Amino acid sequence: AQSVSQHNHHVILSEAASLELGCNYSYGGTVNLFWYVQYPGQHLQLLLKYFSGDPLVKGIKGFEAEFIKSKFSFNLRKPSVQWSDTAEYFCAVNANSGYSTLTFGKGTMLLVSP
Amino acid sequence: DTGVSQDPRHKITKRGQNVTFRCDPISEHNRLYWYRQTLGQGPEFLTYFQNEAQLEKSRLLSDRFSAERPKGSFSTLEIQRTEQGDSAMYLCASSFPTSGETQYFGPGTRLLVL
């Protein structure tokens, strides 16, 4: 069975600080990897995704993530956060074979102080 | 707005009552998923439809839960004899079967069982 582990439940940063949110997954086969974001009062939105190819993927709003297969990791990064990045971030994985449901991590709540 | 919609957005019910939620997916998406999210957790998979066929159900989906997608368009999730432990956010997502398909989420229905 698939599982996803997010390292931090809560992160507090000041504006302009750099961000890295950890995500590790457990699955024996080929996977697709996703980061979703949930802004306060809004629904889950896709931030970025990795299916194949370049392991460094860029998403919306200046976010990027790097897939390191040997470490089963897909960490999310942003060089300089803004107050508007305050949200909950979820890492998710599904198997890259036919249809497959998403397995989510528990989420990381990011609070950016102005 | 052509995104995934869910109705109602909030539902308060008394223990033992039945409730039904509706999900309208993005029109060209033939795959539809239901997830449940409780406080401090990421979404957990409940069930999946391809067109009108229910192809997978999670062990989380007890006998009191039933889902339908009669014409392969909208879907309903019914919970019979609700329990306090059913209090959660119920999320619907839809996708189109492409390589590395992305699931798009609705705003969710928040259920509170008193």
State pLDDT tens for residues A75-99. Answer: 999 999 999 999 999 999 987 665 5
B100 pLDDT band, cuts 50/70/90, is low
Nearest CB among B48, B91, B97 relative to A101 is that of: B48
Q: CA-CA distance, B49 to A13, in Å (whole number)?
A: 40
Q: Are A85 and A96 in contact (CB under 8 A)?
A: no
Q: How far apart are CA A90 and CA A74, in angstroms?
A: 11
pLDDT, residue B72, reads 84
| Contacts B42 to A, Cβ<8 Å | 4, 90, 92, 104-107
Side-chain-side CA neighbours of residue A64 (13 Å): 11
- Which residues of B fall within a CB distance of 8 Å from A90? 42-43
The Cα–Cα gap between A2 and B63 comes to 24
Strand duo A3-6 + A64-68: pairing = unpaired
User: Taking CB atoms and an 8 Å cut-off, how many pairs form between chains A and B?
Assistant: 53
* A90:B42 CB<8 A: yes
> To which residue do tokens 């306090």 refer?
B84
Low-confidence ranges of chain A (pLDDT < 70): 96-99
Which stretch of A35-39, A81-85, B60-64, B105-109 has the lowest confidence by average pLDDT?
B60-64
